Chains A and B, each alone.
Chain A
Amino acid sequence: MSASADTIARAAQPAPARSLARERWNAACRSPTLIAGLIILAFWIVCALFGADITPRDPYADDLLATLSPPSAAHWFGTDQLGRDIFSRVIVGARDILIVAPLATLLGTVLGTALGLCIGYFRGALDDVAGRIIEALQALPLVIVALMALAAVGTSNATVVLVIGFVFTPLIARTVRSAVLNETDLDYVAAARLRGDGALAIMFIEILPNVLPIAIVEMTVRLGYAIFFVASLSFIGFGIQPPSADWGIAIAENYSLIGSFWWTVLFDAAATASLVIAVNLVTDGLAAVFDA
């Protein structure tokens, strides 16, 4: 009798937080998409970190006697118009986009989470005004907003980070806001109010940890878009600037040769595609893990 009551009592106890983390970890290890995405992503991060140190040839060295040579044992991916080794350039080309896109995402996430906490917590007029502005901005494709801002302030890696970060801010704010709305009516927020905590303390100490998983998933989604935009902007000349070996720039430079020298664009295109798809797989996997 007492033993069974004991069992029931033990079963009714809330699961400790560590077992939730463990459950998520186990789910992560079982997700093939997450693992595949992480492996590809890790490969490009290694390329970005070590860059020219691990390339078989100097990615910036011209060789005017071997321009536009097709893929061969000496040049696995062939050479470009200046005779530079494309395989080496593809490896080095991962660096700038993997600096700019995550920084922009981070900026947008930090600002967007702060803004979302504020408009979700205070609601009222602030929520209405912010909602209208966000809706207006959504009528415009991000590439166009970014294009306009970059035309106005000038293009550099720093302005690309700022512009994409600012463009992402309202989008992330909207997601965080709706998560905050679900929290503000809960008891722990009421308790914090009753014991006299200030609004800032409630927002950042009480509510933030509870909406963080949503912000993190949103961040990985945005990272995919950030890579998409940085690549597109670099391709049309408003993103990363030469002499970077960036993939988008390389494709723009060699695009006119596509009819005869396919290797000058195909490998950079494949690299970009593999990076965005990897981030997408990670996003997909993470969302499933946090749902579990």
Chain B
Amino acid sequence: MILRFLTRRALLSLITLAILSVIVFLGGQLLPGDVGRAVLGPLADARAVALFDHQVGVDRPLAIQYWDWISHFVVGDMGRSFTFRAPVAPFIGAALVNSLKLAALAFVLVVPIGIAGGVWAALKVGQWSDRGLVLLGQSLGVVPEFISSIVLILIFGVWLRWLPMSADWPEGAGPLTQMKYLILPALPLVLVFFGYIARVARAGTVEALDADYTRTAVLKGLRMSTVMRRHVLRNALLPTITVVASLLGYLAGGLVVIETLFHYRGIGALIYSAARSKDFPMLEAGVLTVGAVYAIASVLADLLSAALNPRLRAARA
């Protein structure tokens, strides 16, 4: 039954991805109008533009172009970059690995802090400390990453000199050194996500604390720490998993700004430089990759919460 749930969920994601690929394709081929004109600039010779359009194939009917693009894409051939005159796929692969390192560090930092904050607020529900924490998390969540980055760079990079100001670590650095270079870029993401995770963890805990099974557990004389561990937290933290996965979507957006700011060669910086230089094949491939990563993450999150939640497991069967 888990298998049926998995296939259903995966199929839905595939449909979503297919629609997304059409949107991305139209964004990259249709919006610029004349691709050759957009790439070569307003001063380029008309013949050069026509030749460019013909060489990259954008003078063919849209449906054929789309089929050509997507049928190669799914087997890993993402086309050739206009800027680098080389296949796109290796760039995307290397950048994705770098971004995942940064994202992993950010998540390892923010998930425990967010959950702890949310549970703590739930235990003080209605008090000023609860209200203050919620408001703080919300406010941090709306401050753009580059703003918090600037403040963090000033504090930890310029004034205290604890951390390097760029994520560009020296050649051949070990994992620990790499991590040191990644802490400062990861912190703004931590600040942005803290509020979201804390809010969900808080809501879940408040609900679980209020539930009949918690009252029963307390009344039958269990110690509060046991009640929290075995009854409250198990139920409270399930929704948090889904939210953490959905944050991956926001994460990639934040990475565009943060990777550019910290000179980090990740997928966000790659998408940004492709957009700057109007390298549409690279841009489309990068954007669709981000979408695919998000889709995979949300399927995994659903699976994980199904595996952890007996009720959901039974309901889906």
A residues near B, CB below 8 A?
Answer: 33, 132-133, 135-145, 147-153, 224-225, 228, 231-232, 235-238, 248, 251, 255, 258-259, 262, 265-266, 269, 272-273, 276-277, 279-281, 284
Contacts and interface: CB of A to CB of B under 8 A. Distances in A.
Given A136-B23, A232-B145, A255 B261 contact: yes
B153 interface: yes
Contacts of A145: 27
B256 A143 contact: yes
A265 B86 CA distance: 38
Interface string B136-171: 001100111111101101100110000001000000
Nearest to A247: B147
A132 B19 contact: yes
Contacts of A136: 16-17, 19-20, 23, 291
At the interface, is chain B mostly helix, strand, loop or mixed?
helix
Interface stretch (B60-68, B200-208, B245-253): B245-253
The 8 closest A-B pairs by CB, nearest first: A141-B253, A152-B31, A143-B253, A151-B275, A136-B19, A136-B20, A152-B32, A139-B291
A138 B247 CA distance: 11
B79 to A, nearest CB: 15
Nearest to B12: A135
Contact of A140 (B143, B145, B146, B287): B287
Contact of B257 (A150, A235, A258): A235
A232 B143 CA distance: 10
14 contacts: A133-B23, A136-B20, A141-B251, A148-B27, A150-B275, A152-B32, A153-B31, A224-B142, A231-B146, A258-B150, A266-B154, A276-B144, A277-B139, A281-B139
Contacts of B118: none
A267 B16 CA distance: 43
B290 interface: yes
A136 B22 CA distance: 10
A30 B97 CA distance: 50
Contacts of B294: 139-140
Given A139-B249, A150-B275, A33 B135 contact: yes
Contact of B150 (A135, A224, A232, A265): A265
Interface string B11-52: 000011101100110011001100000100000000000000
A152 B28 contact: yes
B146 A235 contact: yes
> On chain B, which size bracket covers the interface?
35 or more
B28 A139 contact: no
B256 A147 contact: yes
A149 B295 contact: no
Chain A facing B: main interface SS:
helix
Contacts of B256: 141, 143-144, 147, 236
Given A140-B290, A259-B158, A262-B158, A251 B150 contact: yes
Contacts of B253: 141-144
Nearest to B154: A262
A277 B148 CA distance: 13
Contacts of B153: 258
A151 B278 contact: yes
Contacts of B83: none
B283 interface: yes
Q: Quick one: which of B24, B31, B251, B278 has the most chain A CB within 10 A?
A: B31
Contacts of A143: 253-254, 256-257
Contact of A148 (B15, B17, B24): B24
Q: Which of B38, B139, B144, B249 has the most CB of A within 10 A?
A: B144
Contacts of A224: 142
Contacts of A135: 16, 19
Contacts of B17: 136, 139
Given A141-B254, A149-B27, A262-B154, 14 more contacts: A133-B19, A139-B294, A141-B249, A141-B251, A144-B290, A151-B274, A152-B28, A152-B280, A232-B145, A235-B146, A255-B150, A255-B261, A259-B157, A281-B139
B158 A147 contact: no
